[in-house]
Amino acid sequence: MNKIQPKTYIEGKNTIYLPSCHSTNEMAMQIIQNDAVKEDTIVITDNQTRGKGQRGNSWETQKGKNLTFSLILQPYYVKSKDQFAINLAVSLGIFHALLPILGEKLKIKWPNDIFYDRKKIGGVLIENMLLGQQITYTVVGIGLNINQTSFNYPLASSLKSIKGRSYDRYLMLKKIDKEIDNYLVQLRDGNTASLLNEFSENLFLRNKVEKFSQDDKIFEGKIEGVNADGQLIMSTADGEKLFGLKEFKYII
């Protein structure tokens, strides 16, 4: 493992730079298991070969074009039953780092994808290690499309594709890390309810009647928000429904 170059070093963070690796989340887990972790550690690579996403999906990325990194956190202030709150802080941190660049078309697609209009530009995979009612460690894997312009996935996009210019990936890393830290402080200070409201207000497709599918059946619904357990609240012809992970699909 090599220390990241000085220009990409984030003050106050233990930064581990890997020129190439299969998954920064898996590397972060190995660091924890080997008792080699230091507080506020970032594992970052220029070439992630087998990145993981939600539901076992892969994360496609071109070498040296995007941001692929993992944060190792110790959120002692969050109980295991409240772990979705970490998702709120992380997603809102990324959202607010990008908002000055991308504006009002930027949204959070539940549970934690980052969308611009109807295109995916980023994703988050959060893995918690639990001990009883406590979260001992959290690994936050983040993939964000910065300068890549060609994708196999038709719904994918990037900052460069949207804005027509290249961006310094590590300046973006610093902005994202700073905003996530800000929201984690709010979480530590007990402001979960305000984070939940802000997350809900910025949800992709919120307050729009859209088509979704469940058990291969198409239905219409309107996303209203998210509850404290992380369930999506949707109004449908059959009344209000709550959805967990893998319980429905978007039709985009």
Section 123-145 average pLDDT: 95
Q: For the chain, percent helix, then strand, then coil, each to nearest 5? A: 30, 35, 35
Residue 52, pLDDT score = 59
Residue 2, pLDDT score = 41
Let me know whether 184 and 236 are in one domain: no
Taking 50 as the threshold, does the pLDDT of residue 68 lie above it?
A: yes
Let me know whether 240 and 157 are in one domain: no
- CA separation, residue 68 to residues 44, 62, 82, 98 (Å): 6, 10, 26, 16
CA-wise closest residue to 83 among 25, 35, 136, 30:
136
38 — pLDDT class (breaks 50, 70, 90): confident
Cα gap 96→72, rounded to integer Å: 20
Let me know whether 221 and 157 are in one domain: no
* Percentage of the chain modeled with pLDDT above 70: 92
pLDDT tens for 79-130 read 999 999 999 999 999 999 999 999 999 999 999 999 999 999 999 999 999 9
Q: Which of 201, 224, 242 is the last residue of a domain?
A: 201
**CA-only gyration radius of the chain, Å:** 18
Cα gap 50→87, rounded to integer Å: 22
Let me know whether 159 and 234 are in one domain: no
Let me know whether 114 and 165 are in one domain: yes
CATH of the domain at 148: 3.30.930.10
Cα gap 73→99, rounded to integer Å: 24
Let me know whether 181 and 219 are in one domain: no
58 — pLDDT class (breaks 50, 70, 90): low
CATH of the domain at 230: 2.30.30
The DSSP line for 160-188 is HHHHSS---HHHHHHHHHHHHHHHHHHHH
Q: How many residues does the chain have?
A: 252
The DSSP line for 17-38 is EESSBS-HHHHHHHHHHTT---
- Note down the domain range covering 221: 209-250
SS3 state at 73: strand
Let me know whether 95 and 136 are in one domain: yes
Let me know whether 36 and 79 are in one domain: yes
* Percentage of the chain modeled with pLDDT above 90: 84
Residue 3, pLDDT score = 42
Q: Please state the domain count of the chain.
A: 2
Q: Which of 165, 185, 201 is the last residue of a domain?
A: 201
CB 87, CB 126: distance < 8 Å: yes
Let me know whether 87 and 121 are in one domain: yes
Let me know whether 163 and 239 are in one domain: no
- CA separation, residue 190 to residues 107, 184, 229 (Å): 24, 10, 16
Q: What CA dihedral angle connects 19, 49, 41 and 139, to 10 degrees?
A: 180
Read off the pTM: 0.92
pLDDT tens for 174-230 read 999 999 999 999 999 999 999 999 999 999 999 999 999 999 999 999 999 999 999
Let me know whether 174 and 225 are in one domain: no
Let me know whether 143 and 241 are in one domain: no
CB 130, CB 167: distance < 8 Å: no
pLDDT tens for 229-243 read 999 999 999 999 999
CB 136, CB 122: distance < 8 Å: no
